[in-house]
Amino acid sequence: MAEHRSMQRAALLDAARTLLSEGGTEALTFPALAERTGLARSSVYEYFRSRAAVVEELCAVDFPVWAAEVEAAMERAGSAAGKVEAYVRRQLALVGDRRHRAVVAISASELDAGAREKIRAAHGGLIAMIVEALGELGHEQPRLAAMLLQGVVDAAVRRIELGAAEDPAVVTQAAVSMALRGVTG
């Protein structure tokens, strides 16, 4: 029975990822989750008491995996500049991944404090690593630079997701250049 329940919970989370990546947080509704999984709507409530609870669990499950992939790419880089480049490239390489799209949709939405806290915790290690690398590169305000850098990454993510005129590789290279050289190109 317990195994069956955990399979159904996993199926619900997977359906939530798909709904989020296709339609953002508005698409994540209990009727839609029920339809995607073939469960009765009342059954969905047995697993999650609210949409926020679904989002919170996805944050707890997906954010650390996603952050670990970015961290691993940064750790493989030899230099501070290499770490910054890996930070940008790995996040943009994950754009096509449904987990990443769900993470982006969640980040953009109005979240309750619990979900925000989980995201902050998962992002914390990542931000600490990038702050350190930016400090090594000589930034006087590495924490501010890290926040602005993440803004560049987020804009590049949106650009790639829109299927903009540029190839994703072009968007990625532009974001890396901006990260490493500022707007002087």
Residue pLDDT, tens place only, 123-162:
777 788 899 999 999 999 999 999 889 889 888 988 887 7
Q: Which tokens go with 11?
A: 């199926």
pLDDT, one tens digit per residue, over 45-82 is 999 998 888 888 887 888 888 888 999 999 999 899 99
Token pair for residue 39? Answer: 């469960």
pLDDT of residue 104: 66
Q: What is the pTM of this model?
A: 0.75
Using one digit for the tens of pLDDT, what is the confidence trace for 97-106? 767 667 666 6
Grouping H, G, I as helix, E, B as strand and the rest as coil, residue 51 is: helix
Q: In sequence order, which residues have a C-beta less than 8 Å from that of residue 122 and are 6 or more positions away?
A: 59, 63, 64, 66, 67
- Spatial CB neighbours of 177, under 8 Å, sequence gap ≥ 6: 185
State residue 158's pLDDT score.
81
Q: Decide if 104 contacts 153 (C-beta within 8 A).
A: no
Is residue 107 predicted with pLDDT exceeding 80? no
